[in-house]
Amino acid sequence: MADLIVASDLQKTFPNKKGEPVHAVRGIDLRVPQGEAFGLLGPNGAGKSTTMRMIACVSPRTGGELQILGMDPNLDGIAIRDRLGVVPQEGNLDEELSCRENLIVYGRYFGFSRKYCAAKADELLEFAQLTAKASARVSALSGGMKRRLTIARALVNEPDMVLLDEPTTGLDPQARHVLWDRLFRLKQQGVTLILTTHYMDEAEQLCDRLVVVDGGRIVAEGSPAQLIAQYCTREVVELRFTPGAQRQHEAAATALVERVEVLPDRLLLYTTDGDSTVEAVHQAGIPASSSLVRRSTLEDVFLTLTGRSLVD
C-alpha cells in the first residue's frame, strides 16, 4: 500500500522574541500507509501541532524531507491541501451561519456545484448526527456538536486523509465518546486518519499505530499493544498514600517488583501478577491507604520513557 506521508529528519525551528532558535521539531521520521489511523501522542509543547501544521502544508519545514500524497508541500501545497481534510485545534466555523450553511459555503470554496454541496451537506449532517440541528446557528451548538461539525466540514472534499489536532480536548466524557464513535466509523470506511492527542485513552481507542513524541523527538513507535508490551509489564498496582508519605515506602515496594514509579500521592508497582503483588504488599506491611490493580496503559509507557506524566 502507498505511503501517504513520508517524513525523514523533519525539522521546524522558530525564532523566539530575542531571535534565538526554538527547536519545536528536532528530526522526525514517519511513514503512514493508506488506511491507517496514526497518532502523535505527547504532552503539551512536544511538537505535535507543529508537525501537524507541516503535514497540513500551512507551515513550511526548516529542515529534512517531507512527502504528502507523493508530493512536496513546498512545491505542491495547494494540490495537497485540496485532497486533505483538516480539523484544527482552534474552532474556525462561521458562528453566524447555520450548520448546513457552514458545510455548503465550505464546499463552494472548493469549487463544487450548489447541487453537490447541498446533497453533501445533508449526507455529512447525518454522519455527524446533526441533522436535527441543520438550521441551527453554530453559536447555539454545544462544544461536542461544534467539533462534530468541524469534522463533517473537513469531509466535504472527500479527502484522502483527515488531520485532527487534539480532536476531543475540552470536551466532556460523553461528548468525547460520541466523537470517538464517529471517528471510528470513518476509520472503518478506510479513511486515513492522522491525529494528535495527549490523552492516552484516545490514542488506545483510535490509533492502529502511533509515535510517542517528547521535546520535538520521537521516543517510541508502534501499535498501542506493542508499546505497552515493549515498555511495561502487563499489570500495575497503584498504592495510594497521604501525599508525601509514599517516598518512605519506595524501597520496600521496589523489593517486591521489577520497577516502581513514584507519583505525588502514589506508588506504581509494575508487575506481571497484580493480585499476588497486592498480597505481597500486605505481607510486607506497607501501609497504603488503598490499592488497585489495573492493566498497563500508554500513560505508563510515557512515564517509563520520560519519567513524566502526559497531562500535567
Residue 85, amino acid: G
| CA–CA distance, 229 with 210 (Å, rounded to integer) | 14
Residue among 42, 85, 107, 144 that touches ligand ATP (CB under 6 A): 42
Write the interaction track for ligand ATP spanning residues 49-88; mark x where CB under 6 A is met and - where it is not: xx--------------------------------------
Q: Is 47 among the residues that bind ligand ATP (CB under 6 A)?
A: yes
Write the interaction track for ligand ATP spanning residues 182-201; mark x where CB under 6 A is met and - where it is not: ----------------x---
Q: Are strands 21-33 and 3-15 parallel, antiparallel or unpaired?
A: antiparallel
Piece of the chain touching ligand ATP by CB under 6 A; list 39-47, 150-158, 180-188, 275-283 = 39-47
Write the interaction track for ligand ATP spanning residues 3-22; mark x where CB under 6 A is met and - where it is not: -----------x-------x
161 burial class (0-12, 13-18, 19+ CB within 10 angstroms)?
Answer: buried
Site for ligand ATP in 217-246 (CB under 6 A): none
**Residue of 37, 39, 41 lying closest to 305 (CA atoms):** 41
Q: For 155, which DSSP code?
A: T
Q: In the block, which residue shows the cell 461539525?
A: 149
Residue among 4, 41, 46, 211 that touches ligand ATP (CB under 6 A): 46
Residue 198: how many CB atoms within 10 A of its CB?
Answer: 22
Q: How far is the CB of 99 from ligand ATP (least distance, A)?
A: 27
Piece of the chain touching ligand ATP by CB under 6 A; list 44-52, 124-132, 232-240, 268-276 = 44-52
Task: Pick between residue 27 and residue 33 the one whose CB is nearest to ligand ATP.
Answer: 27
CA angle (168 as vertex; 164, 174 as ends), nearest 5: 140
Rg (CA), the chain: 22
CB 43 within 8 A of CB 311: yes
| CA–CA distance, 92 with 32 (Å, rounded to integer) | 27
Q: Please, how many CA atoms are within 13 Å of residue 238, restricted to the half-sphere of its CB?
A: 12
Helix or strand run (H / E) with residue 173: helix 173-188
Task: Pick between residue 129 and residue 169 the one whose CB is nearest to ligand ATP.
Answer: 169
Piece of the chain touching ligand ATP by CB under 6 A; list 45-53, 97-105, 121-129, 132-140 = 45-53
Q: How far is the CB of 137 from ligand ATP (least distance, A)?
A: 28
Task: Pick between residue 18 and residue 115 the one whose CB is nearest to ligand ATP.
Answer: 18
- DSSP string of 49-112, one letter each residue: HHHHHHHTTSS--SEEEEEETTB-HHHHHHHHHHTEEEE-SS--S-TTSBHHHHHHHHHHHTT-
Piece of the chain touching ligand ATP by CB under 6 A; list 26-34, 42-50, 172-180, 234-242 = 42-50
Q: How far is the CB of 109 from ligand ATP (least distance, A)?
A: 25
For ligand ATP, the binding residues (CB under 6 A) are 14, 22, 24, 42, 44-50, 198
